[in-house]
Structure 1
Amino acid sequence: MPTQWSRILILWLVGILAAAQLAKISAIAPILRESFHLSLPQIALLISLLEVGGGLFGFVAGLGLARFGMRAFLLAGGATLAAASLVEAIAPSPAILFAARAVEGVGYLLMVIVCPTAIAAIATDESRGRALALWSTFVPVGLALGSAVTASLVTLAGPRGVMLAWAVALAGITVLLTRFPLPGASGRRITLPAPAAWVATFAFGLYTLFVCALLMLLPSFLVERSGAPIEQVGLVTALASLAALPGSAAAMWLMRGGQLSSRRMMLVSTLALLATLPLVFWLYQAGGASLATSAALAIAATLVSGLVPPLMFARLPAQSGATTPDDPRIAAANGLITQFGAGGALLGPPLAGMVVAAWGWPALGIALIALVLAMLACLLLAESL
């Protein structure tokens, strides 16, 4: 058991390191805007480019992983992230900076498909659900790590020095991973996951659409609603982002007896998502609410809804139709969940902005409620399949 969980924790930490690259650019965005004379839409695009690889090629990468093996993908992903960060550190023009960020997205995609697939193969039947629930926390933890490390180093080394430091760290980790025990290429033919996995991963895409629309526009909403200073608004947004972590801990506790049953998954998910609805409604409908009230509602909505994604990751191997821990349908399903998740992250903020621009903040609350209900409907359909 210690050996199994030590390998799972290493893969989780690798995912956190990859996810830290999401926050690397956003933490120094004001400096990059000034250095490269970028507009706000341009810097927003630069930040989100890391998700382009997953949004375009997630499913294809999942199929390729089943064919060519985890080690090749993991090492290629780490090397790509390191090389891209190095180019970002020395980029002489915005065009090269953008190109490096897009390539970085491919490396990120490779790593975040390998890690959960490897975790599913390494874990036992009794621990697989808890291990995948732990994996589901890699993005919020990575975002916190990337923001903290980048912000603390930029005053000492400048933006180029920070990029170089990330490149060195990623290269070092990749070298160490060459000796990490992983299953090799399966050599099996490409196999599509079962229909339930398609519906369930689409539900995850709706969740990322929901949470990104909520969190990415939360600073603007709080400043406009309460007139709070940006420092307080930033703290509230950070707390709301990390509020999903207790949900993962609760999910792991629910699975302490072994695999997660369909009945328990749907009971907990239904209660959590239905409880999210009034929180979102009150957040955007309560005119003149204080910063403390709005912050509490946003944090509570993220905390309660955050109970569901870990359960979705835990159920994915069964929903994919896999019959063994190394079944290629698990890799394909991880590709799907990466693709839909990246798509939600890309579309969430701009779509939410369009809703607010056309109909105001209360309309965003209604739209988010509709997303939560659609997500619940998809989860019910997936389990029925």
Structure 2
Amino acid sequence: MARSWLPVLSLWLIGVLAAAQLAKFAVMAPLLRARFGLSLAQAGLLVSLLEVGGALFGFAAGLAIGRLGARRLLSAGLALLAAAGAAEGLSSGAAALFTARAVEGIGYLLVVIAAPTMIISVTTTASRAAALALWSTFVPVGMACGSALTGQLVDAVGFGGTNMVWSAACLAALMASLRMRPSPVAPRAGIALPQVGAWLATLAFGCYTVFVSALTALLPTFLVERTGASIGGASVATSLASIAALPGAAIAILILRGARSGYRRLAAAMIAMLLATMMLAPGTFVVAATAPLRQTTAFAVLVVALSAVAASIVFTRLPALAGARSAEDSRIAAANGLVTQFGAAGALVGPPLGARVVETWGWHALGLAITILAGAMLALVLLAEGISQPLRQRRVRDDIEPSTGEART
């Protein structure tokens, strides 16, 4: 069992490493502005540039992986991350830095679509759901690791040295990926579109990333303005809220282990978690307006953890909702491309949308907006399951009838 999880853990760590590149420029933003003469808006664009590729080309990349193979493009993605990190460290001007960051975004896109596709191909049916639930945590864990390590590295080796260290880590991951054993069954080359259930489920995941990114991006400002927290205290509270997705995924794994009898128990769990999220979200910003830092943090942690349970379950359902007939079906890569595209778009839209809500209607409206988005996520998930079940039953019947010799009616 432990050996069978080694490739899963290796691929998850590669995802964590890729996600750490999201956080490194956010931490170094003041240094970037001073070193390259960037405005605040330009520094923000440089940070978000890693997600732009996913928001624009996630689905297309998923189709390409279905055609060219996940293993090959995982290595290509890591190579681009390593090369771009080195180029960033050597950049002497803003134009070169932006170009390197754009290349880094392409590498990130390839990694985060290829890795879960490979996880599906190297796991058994019994362990696949738990492995995908673990994979769904790679962004918050990577962001937390990237923030913590980058802060230490900048103090020790400066801007150029920090980027070189991250480049070396990506190069080491590339070497490790080349030594991974291939799947026992060769992936099927080709392009196939996922069924409508996957489109709805990935749109639901996009709603999740909108409200989680808005919450975590604006929480520090809220804590400083309304609870009198220090910047350091607000930073710690936001880190706790972000990393709460990890225990949320652990809860999802426990639910998945106990729900093998069918999807209805999973649907019931998602309904319970998202309804709880909808009830708690307004309290984060209304009750906390006069509450101490700890109470605010507790509300935010619960909102992120509970919604992460539902998001993890949605991620594990993607192969089935996409209509995949095997672990090597190209619909899986296409669905992973979709979830990357909607997730990246949500991460880009969430913070400015949340800020607009606060500026127009006040902080309490942000909690209500999160409630509405969590409700939309729930409605989309239930619609995806409702549409997919008849399609799946019909497909099973079509597969069985020829072997039994029964006439179709």
TM (norm. structure 2) is: 0.91
Aligned positions of 1:304-315 closer than 5 A: 304-315=306-317
Which residue of 357, 363, 368 maps to 2:359? 357
**Residue aligning to 1:384:** 386
**Residue type matched to 1:255 in 2?**
L
The question of whether the paired residues in 2 share the 8 Å contact of 1:36 and 1:93 is answered with yes
**Residue aligning to 1:221:** 222
How far apart are 1:324 and its partner, in Å? 0.6
Determine the C-alpha separation between the residues in 2 that align with 1:182 and 1:14.
16
Aligned positions of 1:39-58 closer than 5 A: 39-58=39-58
How far apart are 1:260 and its partner, in Å? 7.5
**Residue type matched to 1:102 in 2?**
A
Determine the C-alpha separation between the residues in 1 that align with 2:74 and 2:158.
29
**Residue aligning to 1:133:** 133
How far apart are 1:289 and its partner, in Å? 2.3
How far apart are 1:371 and its partner, in Å? 0.5
CA displacement, residues 304-326 of structure 1 (integer Å, 9 cap, x when unaligned):
21211110111111111011111
**Residue aligning to 1:368:** 370
Determine the C-alpha separation between the residues in 2 that align with 1:259 and 1:331.
24
**Residue type matched to 1:284 in 2?**
F
Determine the C-alpha separation between the residues in 1 that align with 2:34 and 2:261.
50
The question of whether the paired residues in 1 share the 8 Å contact of 2:255 and 2:266 is answered with no
Quick one: structure 1 residues 144 and 260, their matched pair in 2 at CA, closer, same or farther if it must change by over 3 Å?
A: farther
How far apart are 1:233 and its partner, in Å? 0.3
Give secondary structure in 2 for the equivalent of 1:228. Answer: coil
Give secondary structure in 2 for the equivalent of 1:176. Answer: helix
CA displacement, residues 205-248 of structure 1 (integer Å, 9 cap, x when unaligned):
00000100111111111111112110000000000001111111
Aligned positions of 1:129-278 closer than 5 A: 129-183=129-183, 186=187, 188-256=189-257, 259=260, 261-278=262-279
Aligned positions of 1:333-344 closer than 5 A: 333-344=335-346
RMSD: 1.5
Quick one: structure 1 residues 53 and 313, their matched pair in 2 at CA, closer, same or farther if it must change by over 3 Å?
A: same
Determine the C-alpha separation between the residues in 2 that align with 1:104 and 1:82.
8
Larger Rg, first or second structure (1 or 2): 2
Determine the C-alpha separation between the residues in 1 that align with 2:302 and 2:2.
35
The question of whether the paired residues in 1 share the 8 Å contact of 2:277 and 2:307 is answered with yes
Identity of aligned residues (%): 51
**Residue aligning to 2:83:** 83
How far apart are 1:187 and its partner, in Å? 5.0
Determine the C-alpha separation between the residues in 2 that align with 1:306 and 1:241.
10
Question: Which residues of structure 2 form unaligned runs of 5+?
Answer: 388-409
**Residue aligning to 1:106:** 106
CA displacement, residues 262-317 of structure 1 (integer Å, 9 cap, x when unaligned):
21121011101111122111122233222222122111111221211110111111
The question of whether the paired residues in 1 share the 8 Å contact of 2:32 and 2:38 is answered with yes
The question of whether the paired residues in 2 share the 8 Å contact of 1:68 and 1:185 is answered with no
The question of whether the paired residues in 1 share the 8 Å contact of 2:23 and 2:143 is answered with yes
Give secondary structure in 2 for the equivalent of 1:126. Answer: helix
Determine the C-alpha separation between the residues in 1 that align with 2:250 and 2:55.
28
Give secondary structure in 2 for the equivalent of 1:246. Answer: helix
The question of whether the paired residues in 1 share the 8 Å contact of 2:71 and 2:118 is answered with no
Quick one: structure 1 residues 173 and 189, their matched pair in 2 at CA, closer, same or farther if it must change by over 3 Å?
A: closer
Give secondary structure in 2 for the equivalent of 1:307. Answer: helix
**Residue type matched to 1:294 in 2?**
T
The question of whether the paired residues in 1 share the 8 Å contact of 2:245 and 2:304 is answered with yes
Deviates more, 1:330-339 or 1:249-258: 249-258
How far apart are 1:98 and its partner, in Å? 1.4
How far apart are 1:92 and its partner, in Å? 1.0
1:279 aligns with 2:249: no
How far apart are 1:106 and its partner, in Å? 0.6
Determine the C-alpha separation between the residues in 1 that align with 2:134 and 2:219.
26
The question of whether the paired residues in 1 share the 8 Å contact of 2:188 and 2:329 is answered with no
**Residue type matched to 2:248 in 1?**
G
**Residue type matched to 2:200 in 1?**
V
How far apart are 1:171 and its partner, in Å? 1.3
Quick one: structure 1 residues 64 and 308, their matched pair in 2 at CA, closer, same or farther if it must change by over 3 Å?
A: same
Which residue of 346, 349, 354 maps to 1:347? 349
The question of whether the paired residues in 1 share the 8 Å contact of 2:12 and 2:138 is answered with yes
CA displacement, residues 172-224 of structure 1 (integer Å, 9 cap, x when unaligned):
22123222123497453310001100000000000000100111111111111
Paired positions, count: 385
**Residue type matched to 1:178 in 2?**
L
How far apart are 1:3 and its partner, in Å? 3.2
Question: Which residues of structure 1 form unaligned runs of 5+?
Answer: none
Give secondary structure in 1 for the equivalent of 2:300. Answer: helix
CA displacement, residues 93-144 of structure 1 (integer Å, 9 cap, x when unaligned):
1121112111111100100111111111111111110110111111111111
**Residue aligning to 1:94:** 94
Deviates more, 1:177-186 or 1:311-320: 177-186
How far apart are 1:13 and its partner, in Å? 0.9
Give secondary structure in 1 for the equivalent of 2:267. Answer: helix
